[in-house]
Amino acid sequence: MSSIRVAIAGASGRMGRMLVETALREEGVVLAAAFDRAGTPFIGRDVGELIGAPCGVVLGDDARAAIAAADCVIDFTRPEGTLGHLALARELGKAMVIGTTGFDAAGKAAIAAAAESVPVVFAPNMAVGVNAVFRLLEVAARILDQGYDVEVIEAHHRFKVDAPSGTALRMGEVVARELGRDLDDCAVYGREGVTGERKAETIGFSTIRGGDIVGDHTVLFAGIGERIEITHKSGSRMPYAAGSMRAARFLAGRSAGLFDMQDVLGLR
């Protein structure tokens, strides 16, 4: 099978650099282009210099040209930037892997609409291990459906701008679905003051931000006399980047459709 040519959005950022590094060594993937916002340092230079491995691909600020040069664009930027890149991908007939989080309902609707024309993998977390945890949570929620309170605790670095994380929200959605609940109705996002006793049907979320924490997530099922914790901890951004390349390869040859990592990993 021929390699898929990828363009990396936000290539000079922390996640962008990891995506560049991974694309350069990943079998079946070719780094075709890398781009970032105008005025970003390193524009016009070899993007490989950012990771100490010059590769001949220049970091540009023309998103249209970069996306046109590739088969698939991989984007972990911000919602507003991602939606702009998605519009270009749709116009140019290119596939897209979206790891950006923090979309509102309108943004999610725009992604679904674009996927009617081009293939898109949109997932709150691209790491294979996290997606295995999603399946474990389905099983746990079915078994622990009575007498257990559910809390989701997540921690990320000080630079993360959305909370709770997209992964934490997806964990809550998975558990709520298995318990026959709607997360919009039962989620509690923080507690302060005299809150009264905990309502059994709620799913609580706690958020920690600090330092350089890449991403820690725990779902706690707390019963009387015991508690079960399902935890995933990321030691680096590499798992997200590796999963993204796997998603890009999954999209090769597909004409349209909205997919997530459960589809990519064959878990549906």
**Rounded Cα distance, 268 and 148, in Å:** 27
For the question of residue 85 being annotated catalytic, the response is no
For the question of residue 217 being annotated catalytic, the response is no
**Is 126 known as a binding-site position?**
yes
**Is 218 known as a binding-site position?**
no
112, 136 Cβ separation under 8 angstroms: no
**Is 238 known as a binding-site position?**
no
**Rounded Cα distance, 28 and 175, in Å:** 35
99, 76 Cβ separation under 8 angstroms: yes
**Is 125 known as a binding-site position?**
yes
- Residue labelled with tokens 């709620």: 202
Please give the full DSSP string across 12-39, using - where no structure is assigned.
Answer: TSHHHHHHHHHHHH-TTEEEEEEE--TT
**Is 157 known as a binding-site position?**
yes
**Is 100 known as a binding-site position?**
yes
Q: Which of 85, 94, 108, 160 is catalytic?
A: 160
71, 8 Cβ separation under 8 angstroms: no
**Is 225 known as a binding-site position?**
no
**Is 165 known as a binding-site position?**
no
**Is 36 known as a binding-site position?**
yes
137, 164 Cβ separation under 8 angstroms: no
Q: Which of 94, 156, 217, 232 is catalytic?
A: 156
Tokens encoding 150: 């559910």
**Is 166 known as a binding-site position?**
yes
**Rounded Cα distance, 24 and 66, in Å:** 16
Residues at the binding site for NADP(+) are 37
Residues at the binding site for NAD(+) are 10-15, 36, 99-101, 123-126
Residues at the binding site are 10-15, 36-37, 99-101, 123-126, 157, 166-167
Residues at the binding site for (S)-2,3,4,5-tetrahydrodipicolinate are 157, 166-167
List active site positions: 156, 160
